[in-house]
């Protein structure tokens, strides 16, 4: 059994980041924003509860009759997670995801303000430095 942590390749993290939607990038950056979706009473008095996030991730919980969490698992939409076996994203490489989130946010704001000015937004494709 492997004991040391296997980290994902930095280039693979970059590729992965470009495939994420803005919402997914935000969840990677700030964490999920869970909201209740379904809850059902179990025969043992507890609950099966599902929470969802805007990114379509789901947190599925089993609660006992006191509301204590007995089990939790997560379900993610395709593409949210790196492919199986990629390894964990190192804390340094999480910076790649943060920068992608920031760049996408800035691009979205610029797009919105361009639309507000009613300027044809297709004309200005600014070059990025680097
Ligand atoms: Zn989310």
Ligand 1 center to residue 76 CA distance, Å? 9
Q: Each residue of 75-101: pLDDT tens digit?
A: 999 999 999 999 999 999 999 999 999
Q: Does the pLDDT value for residue 125 go beyond 90?
A: no
Integer Cα distance of 59 and 96 in angstroms = 25
Ligand 1 center to residue 30 CA distance, Å? 9
Ligand 1 center to residue 122 CA distance, Å? 30
Q: Are 103 and 23 in contact (CB under 8 A)?
A: no
Specify the pLDDT at position 2: 60
Specify the pLDDT at position 76: 96
Name which of 84, 78, 67, 70 is nearest 12 in CA terms.
84
Decide: pTM greater than 0.75.
yes
Ligand 1 center to residue 58 CA distance, Å? 8
Q: Does the pLDDT value for residue 121 go beyond 80?
A: no
Instruction: Copy the structure tokens of residue 6.
Output: 């296997």
Ligand 1 center to residue 126 CA distance, Å? 30
Integer Cα distance of 6 and 15 in angstroms = 18
> Following DSSP, what letter does each residue of the chain receive, concatenated?
---SPPBPPHHHHHHHHHTS-HHHHHHHHH----EEEEEEE-TTS-EEEEEE-TTS-EEEEEE-TTS-EEEEEEE--TTSSPPTTS-BPPTTTHHHHHHHHHHHHHHHHHHHHHHHTT--TTS--PPPP-
- Place 124 in a pLDDT band, splitting at 50, 70 and 90: low
Q: Does the pLDDT value for residue 127 go beyond 80?
A: no
Q: Maximum distance among all alpha carbons in the chain?
A: 63
């Amino acid at each position: 059994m492997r004991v040391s942590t296997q980290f994902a390749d930095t280039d693979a993290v970059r590729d992965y980041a470009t495939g994420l939607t803005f919402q997914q990038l935000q969840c990677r950056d700030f964490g999920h924003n869970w909201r209740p979706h379904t809850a059902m009473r179990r025969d043992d008095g507890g609950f099966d509860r599902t929470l969802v996030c805007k990114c379509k991730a789901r947190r599925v919980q089993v609660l006992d009759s006191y509301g204590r969490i007995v089990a939790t698992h997560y379900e993610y939409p395709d593409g949210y997670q790196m492919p199986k076996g990629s390894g964990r994203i190192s804390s340094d490489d999480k910076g790649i995801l943060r920068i992608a989130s920031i760049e996408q946010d800035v691009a979205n704001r610029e797009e919105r303000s361009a639309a507000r000015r009613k300027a044809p937004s297709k004309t200005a494709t600014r070059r990025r430095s680097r």
